[in-house]
Amino acid sequence: MVLALQGDPPLVLLFVVAFFAAGLTSVDQPTRASSIPRLVPAERLPAAMALNQLNYQAASIIGPAFGGSSSRPWACLARTPSMS
């Protein structure tokens, strides 16, 4: 959020943030997927895995859409050349 509010954030810093975010995701996603069989009975496992995947896909669509729509008022206030 802080980088987004800066006028011209350093590109190297954006790459560092993206690197750490991808690294955390690469650990987080398998950990969550491996915990499902321990939490759900075996007969409901296929449905639970499908629901987990549905959650992930919905979040990857709804999250950026919400972020873009919520940051639009800030873009109008910033009066950047690309928005005029």
Q: Residues near 41 by Cβ (< 8 Å), separated by ≥ 6?
A: none
Asked if pLDDT for residue 7 goes beyond 90, the answer is no
Rounded to the nearest angstrom, the gap between the alpha carbon of residue 69 and the centroid of all alpha carbons in its chain is 15
Q: Residue 26 is encoded by which pair of tokens?
A: 């690469």
pLDDT reported for residue 40: 93
Answer whether 22's CB lies under 8 Å from 6's CB: no
Q: Residue 37 is encoded by which pair of tokens?
A: 């069989």
Nearest CA-CA partner of 32 in 60, 16, 51 = 51
- The pTM score is 0.55
pLDDT reported for residue 10: 80
